């Protein structure tokens, strides 16, 4: 397989999608596009405008008129991976706030709002040379993408990684609380998570980010295109047997 012009990475919260996406994009010289940020921006605007996150029409109307821009970080030195603007306001860090986290799965659930978001995501995907990360990218947004990854990991592994990530940024965390939060988000996100049937599944427990990147590059080299690559899944589950 030549290097696919679009690579999609779907999977649950904390599976390492963004880390993988960023590393891959860096290696390939592609754009990294985290679609979750668009739903976070929408949720931020829902709070800002005091809209009920359960209100299907209200959230859709807001989504329709919302200007969301995800830009390169530029000169920013605060560790941000990119800059997020909503109607011109820099909300890069605010979209990570616990208040946004609390309602994002609810605000992201409405079909009309999702249709608007998906259309905008598709427009970016269609430009090519992009690694797109989300929940429904391979199945709904870019179903013709030549390489689709479904990245998974156990709840314990995801909780450990999240805890490490927060501690690395200087925060203090309780592993059990993080674990419960991941379970809660899995339940809420179940409605929007749609793995593509032809995705290459990678189970990343025990693998470093670099090992996962190597697996994906092997998928590309092996010529995985439109068939499920269970060997990648087996290799990932049992790296010693590869």
* Distance of closest approach, residue 209 Cβ to ligand DC, in angstroms: 16
> Which residues in the 64-93 window bind ligand DC by CB under 6 A?
none
Sign of CA dihedral 56, 58, 61, 66: negative
> Which residues in the 120-159 window bind ligand DC by CB under 6 A?
134-137
Between 133 and 215, CB nearer to ligand DC: 133
Q: Which of 36, 81, 143, 206 binds ligand DC (CB under 6 A)?
A: 36
Between 160 and 185, CB nearer to ligand DC: 185
Phi, psi of 227 (to 5 degrees): -125, 150
**By the rule CB under 6 A, 35 interacts with ligand DC:** yes
* Element containing residue 50 per DSSP (H, E): none
* Distance of closest approach, residue 38 Cβ to ligand DC, in angstroms: 7
What single-letter DSSP state applies at residue 136?
S
* Element containing residue 107 per DSSP (H, E): helix 98-107
Q: Which of 162, 146, 166 is nearest to 154 (CA)?
A: 162
CA angle 59, 90, 81 (to 5 degrees): 105
* Distance of closest approach, residue 194 Cβ to ligand DC, in angstroms: 9
Binding site for ligand DC (CB under 6 A): 13, 35-36, 39-40, 104-105, 108, 134-137, 189, 192
């Amino acid at each position: 397989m030549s290097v696919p012009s679009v690579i999609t990475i779907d999977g649950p919260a904390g599976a390492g999608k963004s880390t993988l996406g960023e590393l891959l994009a860096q290696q390939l010289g592609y754009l990294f596009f985290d679609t979750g940020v668009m739903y976070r921006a929408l949720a931020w605007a829902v709070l800002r405008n005091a809209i009920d996150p359960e209100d299907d029409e209200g959230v859709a109307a807001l989504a329709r008129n919302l200007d969301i821009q995800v830009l390169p970080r530029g000169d920013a030195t605060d560790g941000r991976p990119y800059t997020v603007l909503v109607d011109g306001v820099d909300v890069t860090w605010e979209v990570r706030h616990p208040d946004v986290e609390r309602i994002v799965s609810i605000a992201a659930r409405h079909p009309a709002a999702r249709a608007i978001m998906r259309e905008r995501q598709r427009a970016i995907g269609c430009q090519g040379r992009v690694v797109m990360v989300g929940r429904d990218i391979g199945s709904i947004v870019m179903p013709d993408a030549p390489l689709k990854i479904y990245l998974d990991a156990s709840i314990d592994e995801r909780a450990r990684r999240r805890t490490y990530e927060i501690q690395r940024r200087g925060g203090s965390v309780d592993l059990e609380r993080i674990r419960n939060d991941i379970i809660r988000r899995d339940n809420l996100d179940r409605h929007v998570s749609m793995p593509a049937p032809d995705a290459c599944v990678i189970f990343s427990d025990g693998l470093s980010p670099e090992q996962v990147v190597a697996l994906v590059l092997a998928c590309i080299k092996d010529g995985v295109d439109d068939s499920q690559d269970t060997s990648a899944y087996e290799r990932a589950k049992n790296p010693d047997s590869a």
